[in-house]
Structure 1
Amino acid sequence: MIATEDLQDSETGLRRAAEILRAGGLVAFPTETVYGLGGDARDDRAVARIFAAKGRPRFNPLIVHLPDVESARELAVFDDRAEALARAFWPGPLTLVLPIRPGSGLSPLVTAGLDSVALRLPAHPLARALLRAFGGPLAAPSANPSGKVSPTRGEHVRAGLAGRIEAILDGGPCAVGVESTILGLLGQPELLRPGGLAVEVLEEVLGERLATGGSAERPNAPGQLASHYAPGAAVRLEAVAPQPGEVWVGFGPCPGADLSLSERGDPVEAAARLFHILREADDRAGPEGRIAFAPVPEAGLGRAINDRLRRAAAPRG
């Protein structure tokens, strides 16, 4: 259990919140939509702890919160449409999914290993003050246990996450009360999630209708394909020992393993290392090689890890 601090909207509260975030801790903070659960978007372990604290069942991509458009341009590639939407609606309840810029420095857990990133500039003055005080990008899904109602007050956060996170920065009730609208700009503009900004005003600025829906053949949101996050090498799961020629990735005590998600069997550490280890194992195996993963318990973050590994091992189209 973690002793969750209650921080107030003050210079002292902001300084303490920024200090916790720089140390890899988690801080819930208000936006104009709902309270977000913030962690350093560049820190693998901090991002993995967000999933663990929420009990989030899989590594869905997280929204990165930023203080200004200049910071957003450092992380993603903006076309004319993105620039127009940013001028019209940022800061505000709009999230844009854009191509990630090479060398962004973001944890691959934030983007679920994809080539796109979801960005938002919150309008809440306390959120903006925290982002400036922290001085970096914050990954921040809603600050509630996965599957529960999103929180719009500090006491809602405490009821759901006390003992799992370091602090709650209380800024009073949220004004909008529903999550941000998510718009994908990776091709044709697509509404990925309705939210606090009406579709009609987005279409007016874009001058075109938004696509909706999606399928496994043409996904409009991350993580819909059965085969996903796949390395060049073939992947075998539930491997208690390697076969000849395999790169064996352990979990917990695995004498002789080439690499390990976590030698201690810590699912948070394994989650933080997953995408990095997958890439390193792929480099070692080569495109004609094979990777074998030791069993990971199907509980807590282990479910998320196994979900991604099953997608990596799925037959390729």
Structure 2
Amino acid sequence: MVMTRTLAPDDAGIDAAVGLLRAGELVAFPTETVYGLGGYARSDRAVARIYEAKGRPTFNPLIVHLPDLAAVQAIAEVGPKAHALAQAFWPGPLTLVLPLCPGAGLSPLLSAGLSTVAVRVPAHPLAQRLLRAFGGPVAAPSANPSGRISPTRAEHVLDGLSGRIAAVIDGGPCAVGLESTIVLADPEPVLLRPGGIPVEALEAALGGLIAVGGDAVKPTSPGQLASHYAPDANLRLDAADARAGEVMVGFGQVPGVLSLSVSGDLVEAAARLFHVLREADRLAGPGGKIAFAPVPEKGLGRAINDRLRRAAAPRD
């Protein structure tokens, strides 16, 4: 067990984080979606440490974070539709699954034996400062134990990974709160995971419809496992009200002890989702139950419902 440091979001904190990454250590840092667990993507040891710290199945690929499109093009082939999406949504909560370039030099562990790599250019200013100061690709899945609730604050990271990682940069709460949307763009676009960018916006940028795909048994990208984002309590979805012993999470006109958004705002609901899920799990206690009010299956509601269905899925 190591002593996990909390680093300030200033130059000294960034410098310390860069030094740790260069030494093969793991550093959690904020993005606009959730906190990522960063390790040097060219180091087999660092990538293996990510899997170890998260208790993550090694067949579940990792996302590589880079500061801009030029850095992405140095390691991956960016086709015409991927390029259009990158121009429209990077930096931002979009992950593209791209063919690896020959000689990219990434650890084969992070792509789980695939010939593709999932890449993202985050918009969060601290993430940008860290990536530019580090000067190399950073593998960074969400900074939580595998299958558990994703972290949107530094204290969430420490709740799950304290003693397993070297440091976390405390950049405050994440603005989006949902993980990135994942798309396989070329030759024909496929939505692999809904997320912080609604599918309608992707289709508008491409001028056409996007197919929905993915494999929960053998994932082709991060975030496809059927049981994921799981609290300790059992979840019941689309609930009009609470049953005996349930913690009710409301939305819009459906009230609850907690609410994703009293006003029915999907952006607010997305930003609050994981924080509310953690709080509901705490209130429910061991073996408890949580009921979630219905969330519309449109825009960011699709991503919210995707996370809730995975959180409610049966666990092995």
Q: Is the 8 A contact 2:82 2:186 kept in 1?
A: no
How far off its partner does 1:208 sit?
1.6
Alignment root-mean-square deviation, CA: 1.9
How far off its partner does 1:110 sit?
1.1
Q: Is the 8 A contact 2:60 2:219 kept in 1?
A: no
Aligned partner of 1:193 in structure 2 is 193
Is 2:61 the counterpart of 1:55? no
Aligned partner of 1:91 in structure 2 is 91
Is 2:61 the counterpart of 1:39? no
Between the aligned partners of 1:205 and 1:108, the Cα distance in structure 2 is 32
* 3-state SS of paired residue (2:109): helix
How far off its partner does 1:187 sit?
3.1
Q: Is the 8 A contact 2:192 2:221 kept in 1?
A: no
Between the aligned partners of 1:133 and 1:46, the Cα distance in structure 2 is 18
Deviations 1:143-177 (A, max 9, x none): 00111100000000011100000000110000000
Structure 1 runs (4+) deviating above 4 angstroms are none
Aligned partner of 1:295 in structure 2 is none
Residue correspondence of structure 1 range 306-317 to structure 2 within 5 A: none
Deviations 1:9-48 (A, max 9, x none): 0110000000000000000000000000000000001000
The residue identity in structure 2 corresponding to 1:118 is A
How far off its partner does 1:59 sit?
2.9
Aligned partner of 1:21 in structure 2 is 21
Deviations 1:87-126 (A, max 9, x none): 1100000000011111001000111121111110000000
Between the aligned partners of 1:57 and 1:63, the Cα distance in structure 2 is 14
Name stretches of at least 5 consecutive residues in structure 1 with no aligned partner: 225-317
Q: Is the 8 A contact 2:33 2:175 kept in 1?
A: yes
Identity %: 64
Q: Is the 8 A contact 2:58 2:109 kept in 1?
A: no
Aligned partner of 2:133 in structure 1 is 133
Between the aligned partners of 1:163 and 1:45, the Cα distance in structure 2 is 18
Deviations 1:257-303 (A, max 9, x none): xxxxxxxxxxxxxxxxxxxxxxxxxxxxxxxxxxxxxxxxxxxxxxx
The residue identity in structure 2 corresponding to 1:3 is M
Between the aligned partners of 1:215 and 1:159, the Cα distance in structure 2 is 30
The residue identity in structure 2 corresponding to 1:221 is T
* 3-state SS of paired residue (1:110): coil
- Structure 1 residues 222 and 123: CA distance shift in structure 2, 3 A: closer
Between the aligned partners of 2:58 and 2:87, the Cα distance in structure 1 is 33
Is 2:166 the counterpart of 1:166? yes
Between the aligned partners of 2:215 and 2:132, the Cα distance in structure 1 is 39
Between the aligned partners of 2:129 and 2:6, the Cα distance in structure 1 is 17
Between the aligned partners of 1:118 and 1:41, the Cα distance in structure 2 is 12
Q: Is the 8 A contact 1:190 1:220 kept in 2?
A: no
Between the aligned partners of 2:79 and 2:68, the Cα distance in structure 1 is 17
Matched length? 223
Q: Is the 8 A contact 1:100 1:117 kept in 2?
A: yes
Aligned partner of 1:79 in structure 2 is 79
How far off its partner does 1:83 sit?
1.3
- Structure 1 residues 147 and 121: CA distance shift in structure 2, 3 A: same
Between the aligned partners of 2:167 and 2:127, the Cα distance in structure 1 is 14
Aligned partner of 2:220 in structure 1 is 221
Between the aligned partners of 1:9 and 1:151, the Cα distance in structure 2 is 17
Aligned partner of 1:100 in structure 2 is 100
Q: Is the 8 A contact 2:95 2:120 kept in 1?
A: yes
Residue correspondence of structure 1 range 246-261 to structure 2 within 5 A: none
Structure with higher Rg: it is 1
Aligned partner of 1:181 in structure 2 is 181
Q: Is the 8 A contact 1:192 1:220 kept in 2?
A: no
Between the aligned partners of 1:53 and 1:203, the Cα distance in structure 2 is 36
Is 2:133 the counterpart of 1:144? no
Aligned partner of 1:277 in structure 2 is none
Q: Is the 8 A contact 2:81 2:189 kept in 1?
A: no
Aligned partner of 1:4 in structure 2 is 4
Between the aligned partners of 2:16 and 2:140, the Cα distance in structure 1 is 18
Between the aligned partners of 2:53 and 2:36, the Cα distance in structure 1 is 12
Q: Is the 8 A contact 1:182 1:194 kept in 2?
A: yes
TM value normalised by structure 1:
0.68
- Structure 1 residues 215 and 131: CA distance shift in structure 2, 3 A: closer
Q: Is the 8 A contact 1:62 1:140 kept in 2?
A: yes
Name stretches of at least 5 consecutive residues in structure 2 with no aligned partner: 225-316
Q: Is the 8 A contact 1:145 1:160 kept in 2?
A: yes
The residue identity in structure 1 corresponding to 2:10 is S
How far off its partner does 1:222 sit?
4.9
Q: Is the 8 A contact 1:30 1:174 kept in 2?
A: yes
How far off its partner does 1:80 sit?
1.4
Q: Is the 8 A contact 2:154 2:171 kept in 1?
A: yes
